[in-house]
């Protein structure tokens, strides 16, 4: 784009971010402060993820951007356009074809492989912020690996409610050392982070932190022996493709309790339907009236 | 088809932008407002946007105000997103506000003082009556001018200094001053970084915090020692020259609060200071900043830290309105994946609760 460097950020800034990323990879799960820049998108809308993506993107990369698992949600469209405009990189909606995937709130259903990088947009990198708002305090707790506060919170949930009451942004221990916020992905996605072959990078722009999980690193969701971690999903099959293993969105279809459960991962759903899988409320691909025509 | 309706698309975004542009222009029968008109006639808004946008450029700030339809936080955001792309060549020498070309200078602590009290272009003593004459265009008579020019004026605090009643200026820190736009905030935050955060901070937030100190939430017993506004020279020392050169004037408002201090075992009672400095004519912001600056020195001065304005971490993390507005407004982004996971959790809890109750009923 005229007047701007490749992928918007100047090379000095990219270098600073890459240094932070390298440090983050070297200390899995540890939050690295970095000199976050203003991005022409608002704070809280993916500025951390955008800076990480901008710092790692090369001219021959193929970028996929998802929000809520979908490529066609407005903010995903907006961020994909930002990079198509400022870096002129190829974009894709296919998880398998992407070299870099920027995501908000989901990990794709299709398993990621060696060589891919997934960049998470992180609103709040501090996993204990609801329990201890002072970052001076939480930094000390991380340094001492003093995570009793979080265990007590989970215990109290079980004592009062019978279950752990966290259903997204469910805290994980990385490499048996750092407590980490996985970003607000549903707890359903947490197991995908464990020993993932792809590199996982996390960018929090407003909070000015970068952290990482290198490939094949242990990522454990906190739990207790007698209350094991439970990754929940709606107990249904996708109405369009019939998948019984994917994370589902619940779509209200009328005001009389009618609802449709569909895959939140649009690429996964479309790929299955292209392969001939049809759910209870779907129509085969190519037929008129197909429910999920691309709106672009 | 409801499923399709909740998905956005590129076309929807393009159409929204086109509608926004049309709305921004308003009724085409009304002449379009010019950037120069905004810079000249909506100057206080321009000042605020320059301050919170951290860029002294009246023309760009006026453009940002036009582009944002007068949404000043949006305008500050536009200015910052531009500013961050600019190379940073050098930092200036400390601005000598004592040498300021004064347009306004008042002290609430002395009836008269060397240089005198200069009211300048202030709203202070206007009666807040709507001036219906302004609704129609009219020429404005030139303001009368003083018979003799106003010279340099020493700061009020320098007049008190020889008695030792007032704390001295902190010695200038060696090396480069901190810069929040390059380095993330870390604690303990040095005063230069704190002052930078306040100078960029939201006027409304600082006003509320400053006000809270006056109502007992971390009181500082303040007196407006001096408020001055005018043009100050900005100097840099290019490495290849080795001596300062003048690169231009900027309008600044400076506030020196003088605050009572009881003293401690080692320090006799004296007056302490809170400092405010902002771009343009922004007195409310400069005064609020000085109150909050002083409140944040509580720990350093051995006072109890009990109120929000005294909590450095609280103040610095929440004073930035560009960060605050982004994160508050991000709640309108889709969250249905997380909401779905909460739905399942709540349903499970309700099921578990219903089961034993059904047993009891039998």
A276 and A177 in a single domain? The answer is no
The minimum CA-CA distance between B112 and chain A, rounded to whole Å, is 46
B221 and B306 in a single domain? The answer is yes
Helix H or strand E encompassing B5: helix B2-5
- Report the mean per-residue pLDDT for chain B: 91
B53 and B159 in a single domain? The answer is no
A143 and A213 in a single domain? The answer is yes
φ/ψ region of A204 (left if φ > 0, alpha if ψ in -120 to 50, else beta) reads: beta
Residue B345 resides in a domain: no
Q: What is the pLDDT along chain A (296 residues), one digit of tens a residue?
A: 777 889 999 999 999 999 999 999 999 999 999 999 999 999 999 999 999 999 999 999 999 999 999 998 889 999 999 999 999 999 999 999 999 999 999 999 999 999 999 999 999 999 999 999 999 999 999 999 999 999 999 999 999 888 898 999 999 999 999 999 999 999 999 999 999 999 999 999 999 999 999 999 999 999 999 999 988 899 999 999 999 999 999 999 999 989 999 999 999 999 999 999 999 887 776 555 444 444 33
Residue B318 resides in a domain: yes
* Nearest CA among B289, B287, B281 for reference residue B119: B281
A136 and A214 in a single domain? The answer is yes
A107 and A152 in a single domain? The answer is yes
Judging contacts by C-beta atoms under 8 Å, the chain A residues touching residue B83 are 38
A59, A29 contact by CB (below 8 A) = no
Q: What's the rounded Cα separation, in Å, for the pair A145 and A210?
A: 19
Q: What's the rounded Cα separation, in Å, for the pair B209 and B198?
A: 11
A282 and A197 in a single domain? The answer is no
Residue B256 resides in a domain: yes
- Report the mean per-residue pLDDT for chain A: 93
A192 and A237 in a single domain? The answer is no
Per-residue pLDDT tens over the stretch B200-217: 999 999 999 999 999 999
B279 three-class SS: strand
* pLDDT reading at B80 higher than 70: yes
pLDDT of residue B3: 35
Judging contacts by C-beta atoms under 8 Å, the chain A residues touching residue B84 are 37-38
CB contact under 8 A, A72 and B8: yes
For residue A97, give the CATH number of its domain.
Answer: 3.40.50.11310
Residue A5 resides in a domain: no
Residue A296 resides in a domain: no
Best to test chain A binding among B8, B14, B80 (most A CBs inside 10 Å): B8
Q: For the ranges A14-18, A154-158, B110-114, B174-178, which has the lowest average pLDDT?
A: B174-178
pLDDT of residue A289: 45
Q: Annotated catalytic, A241?
A: yes
| C-alpha dist (Å) from residue B243 to A99, B26, B95, B172, B250 | 52, 52, 15, 18, 20
Nearest CB to A43 within list B11, B326, B349: B326
Which residue among A203, A205, A241, A279 is the active-site one?
A: A241
Residue A132 resides in a domain: yes
The minimum CA-CA distance between B244 and chain A, rounded to whole Å, is 27
Q: What's the rounded Cα separation, in Å, for the pair A174 and A29?
A: 6
Per-residue pLDDT tens over the stretch B10-58: 888 899 999 999 999 999 999 999 999 999 999 999 999 999 999 999 9
Q: What percent of chain B has a predicted confidence (pLDDT) above 90?
A: 68
pLDDT of residue A290: 44
Backbone angles phi, psi at A80, to 5 degrees: -60, -40
pTM of the model: 0.89
ipTM given for this complex: 0.85
Q: Annotated catalytic, A29?
A: yes
Please calculate the CA angle A174-A177-A178 and round it to the nearest 5 degrees: 65
B57 and B103 in a single domain? The answer is no
pLDDT of residue B108: 93
* Nearest CA among B14, B89, B81, B10 for reference residue B49: B81
| Listed residues A171, A197, A221: the one ending a domain | A221
A61 and A196 in a single domain? The answer is yes
A155 and A246 in a single domain? The answer is no
The minimum CA-CA distance between B182 and chain A, rounded to whole Å, is 5
Q: Annotated catalytic, A239?
A: no
Domain interval for residue B38: 10-83
B78 and B221 in a single domain? The answer is no
B68 and B189 in a single domain? The answer is no
B101 and B45 in a single domain? The answer is no
Residue A74 resides in a domain: yes
pLDDT of residue B220: 85
Helix H or strand E encompassing A100: strand A100-104
CB contact under 8 A, B341 and A293: no
In the structure encoding, which two tokens stand for residue B347, read together?
Answer: 């349903």
B186 and B303 in a single domain? The answer is yes
B217 and B266 in a single domain? The answer is yes
Residue A3 resides in a domain: no
A210 and A259 in a single domain? The answer is no
Place of tokens 């971010």: A17
Burial class, A83, CB count within 10 angstroms (exposed 0-12 / middle 13-18 / buried 19+):
buried
Tally of domains in chain A: 2
């Amino acid at each position: 784009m005229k007047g701007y460097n490749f992928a918007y950020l100047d090379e000095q800034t990219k270098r600073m971010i890459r240094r932070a990323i390298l440090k983050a990879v070297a200390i899995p799960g540890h939050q690295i402060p970095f000199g976050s820049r203003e991005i022409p998108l608002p704070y809280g809308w993916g500025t951390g993820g955008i800076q990480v993506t901008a710092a790692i993107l090369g001219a021959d990369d193929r970028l996929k951007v998802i929000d809520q698992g979908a490529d066609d949600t407005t903010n995903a469209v907006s961020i994909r356009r930002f990079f198509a405009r400022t870096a002129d990189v190829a974009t894709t909606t296919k998880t398998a074809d992407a070299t870099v995937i920027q995501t908000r709130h989901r990990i794709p259903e299709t398993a990621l492989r060696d060589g891919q990088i997934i960049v998470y947009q992180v609103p709040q990198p501090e996993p204990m912020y609801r329990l201890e708002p002072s970052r001076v305090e939480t930094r000390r707790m991380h340094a001492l690996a003093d995570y009793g506060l979080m265990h007590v919170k989970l215990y109290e949930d079980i004592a009062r409610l019978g279950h752990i009451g966290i259903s997204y942004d469910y805290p994980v221990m990385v490499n048996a050392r750092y407590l980490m916020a996985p970003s607000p992905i549903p707890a359903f996605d947490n197991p995908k982070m464990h020993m993932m072959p792809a590199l996982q990078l996390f960018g929090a722009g407003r909070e000015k932190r970068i952290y990482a999980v290198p490939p094949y690193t242990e990522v454990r969701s906190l739990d207790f022996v007698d209350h094991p971690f439970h990754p929940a999903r709606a107990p249904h099959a996708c109405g369009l493709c019939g998948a019984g293993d994917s994370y589902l969105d619940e779509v209200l279809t009328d005001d009389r309790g009618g609802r449709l459960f569909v895959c939140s991962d649009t690429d996964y759903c479309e790929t299955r339907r292209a392969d001939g899988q049809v759910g209870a409320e779907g129509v085969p691909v190519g037929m008129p009236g197909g429910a999920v025509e691309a709106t672009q | 088809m409801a499923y399709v309706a909740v998905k956005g698309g590129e076309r929807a975004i393009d159409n929204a932008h086109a509608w926004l542009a049309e709305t921004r222009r308003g009724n085409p029968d009304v002449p379009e407002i010019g950037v120069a008109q905004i810079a000249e006639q909506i100057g206080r808004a321009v000042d605020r946007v320059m301050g919170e946008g951290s860029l002294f450029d009246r023309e760009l700030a006026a453009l940002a105000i036009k582009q944002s339809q007068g949404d000043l936080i949006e305008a500050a955001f536009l200015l910052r997103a531009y500013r961050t792309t600019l190379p940073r060549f050098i930092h200036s020498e400390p601005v000598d506000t004592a040498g300021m070309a004064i347009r306004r200078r008042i002290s609430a602590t002395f009836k008269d003082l060397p240089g005198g009290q200069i009211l300048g272009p202030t709203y202070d003593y206007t009666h807040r009556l709507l001036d219906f004459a302004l609704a129609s265009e009219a020429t404005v008579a030139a303001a009368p001018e003083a018979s003799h020019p106003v010279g340099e004026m020493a700061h009020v605090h320098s007049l008190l200094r020889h008695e030792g009643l007032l704390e001295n200026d902190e010695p200038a820190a060696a090396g480069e001053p901190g810069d929040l736009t390059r380095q993330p905030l870390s604690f303990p935050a040095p005063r230069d970084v704190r002052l930078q955060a306040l100078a960029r901070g939201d006027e409304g937030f600082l006003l509320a915090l400053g006000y809270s100190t006056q109502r007992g939430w971390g009181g500082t017993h303040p007196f407006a020692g001096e408020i001055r506004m005018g043009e100050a020279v900005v100097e840099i020392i290019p490495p290849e020259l080795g001596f300062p050169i003048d690169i231009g004037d900027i309008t600044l408002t400076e506030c020196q609060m003088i605050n009572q201090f009881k003293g401690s075992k080692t320090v006799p009672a004296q007056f302490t200071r809170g400092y405010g400095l902002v771009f343009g004519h922004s007195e409310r912001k400069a005064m609020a900043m000085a109150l909050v600056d002083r409140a944040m020195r509580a720990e350093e001065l051995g006072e109890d830290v009990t109120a929000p304005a005294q909590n450095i971490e609280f103040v610095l993390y929440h004073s930035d309105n560009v960060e605050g507005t982004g994160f508050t407004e991000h709640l309108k982004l889709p969250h249905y994946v997380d909401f779905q996971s909460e739905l399942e959790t709540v349903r499970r809890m309700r099921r578990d609760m219903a089961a034993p109750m059904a047993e009891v009923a039998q």
